[in-house]
Structure 1
Amino acid sequence: MNRTARLYALVEELRAAAPRPLTVAVLATRFEVGTRTVQRDLQALMQAGVPVRAASGRGGGWSIDPGTTLPPIRLTADEASALTAALAAVDAATPYAGAARTAAQKITASMTGPASEAAREFAARIVALPTRSDPAIRTTVEQSLAAHTVLRLSYTDAAGRESDRVVEPAGLLTADGRWYLIAWCRTRLAGRGFRLDRIAAAAPTGERAQPRDLAGLLRDSAAAGAGQPAVLAALAARPREPEGTGPANRPGRPAVGAGR
């Protein structure tokens, strides 16, 4: 068993035993390698962001939280190439670009056989021009969307006009390779789209944003025909985890402008 396959198998061995920890000695026997090799492998998994942890003392060992890891995923060569192409489109201006990179590293580490070879061969034939983007702004937007909090923006529209806005983020729109933050603009009292690469500054306010209906905000705008990407339909259709009660979503208002 090569190292990549062993790392993958280590994670599944810990998942199967969870929440019971396994000692390095037990894992070494299971994979027929030395304890130092297992120790290095476990450290490598930690550095890659896999949620493995060690507990010292009697009854201690290594364990993993099965709730924060995925079960085995077997990709075909075509599926691996499709993922490679999708990840190639992620650049510095793409939301969650940093998380996409670490996810790509985990997927790559788990692939073996024809899938791994197909992804590697295809990746060698993809090139991209670099883009300029402020990662701090992108991160602030990401955090605001995740936490449902109000943002204060400095924005430059297509005509070069600068303005300061206070917005309630509702979601993201992608079109022609561009990404837009769709939000309720308190300055204009209407839904607006803000192109991410035109946001000059973004600052969190800490204020909780009111729930906004994304489709409602897009209604009667140039992006009214926007729909959920087909590849995300299955993911969005999964049942949600139970959440605390909160205010119901209010109907969105029309007229999403390009940050005007």
Structure 2
Amino acid sequence: MNLLRTLTFAAAALIAAGTAASAAPAEPVKASNVVLVHGAWADGSSWAKVIPYLQAAGLKVTAVQNPLTSLEDSAAVTRRALALQDGPTVLVGHSWGGTVVSEVGTDPKVSALVYIAARAPDAGEDFVALAGKYPNPPARAGIVNHDGETKLSEDAFLKYFANGVDATTAKELYAVQWPTAASIFAGRTTAAAWHDKPSFYAVSKQDKTIDPDFERFLAKRINATTVELDAGHLSLVSHPKEVADLILKAAGRAE
């Protein structure tokens, strides 16, 4: 009986060990490329401080010039950028760019998804209604709509969208902010790549454009490897090294 009991315990231990091993997160695929997707009221230059860190690590980096005219247009431009990549690619989105990442990240070249203070909608989801369950951040009051295109007022951009960014850089970013179609915010994705791809999320604790608790909810929902940065919405500008470190982790290149 003692021998039988010993064998039974040994078998149970092996089963438990096997279960634990299968439940352990897989190591990130080592990626060769990174494609960066900017959000609303911005352009590709918003990644300028992150890019050198990624290039120094040996990654090929492409910053998409997101047209911000519709989800379909933005997805098409991003798909064209992905088609030019050779090998595993990390797809990164900031703010509204996370919508594009969720839609396009099903591409077989995409090895991981990174969301920087970003939307992360589910397929077909009414994201506006979901966001409405959280406080309305102050930047939203500064949206100016003209003939279907939106921009942020200078006051809202500098105080709330670019909070935490030095004044000179914030004014430069305000000067290059790209007009954003009002209709894109209600656009619904047809896919949610985060269901099947390893996901990473950087929460901005001082965000005044997307509620930080909403970001935490999204990060948890997509089961993301998450970091919290003491930054405003533009953490990619104010905390580029920390943002780059998360991207490098997703690329399997963290030290």
Which band: TM-score by shorter chain? under 0.3
Q: TM-score, normalised by structure 1?
A: 0.22
Larger Rg computed on CA atoms: 1
The normalised TM-score by structure 2 is 0.22
Q: Which has the higher contact order (CA 8 A, sep 6+)?
A: 2
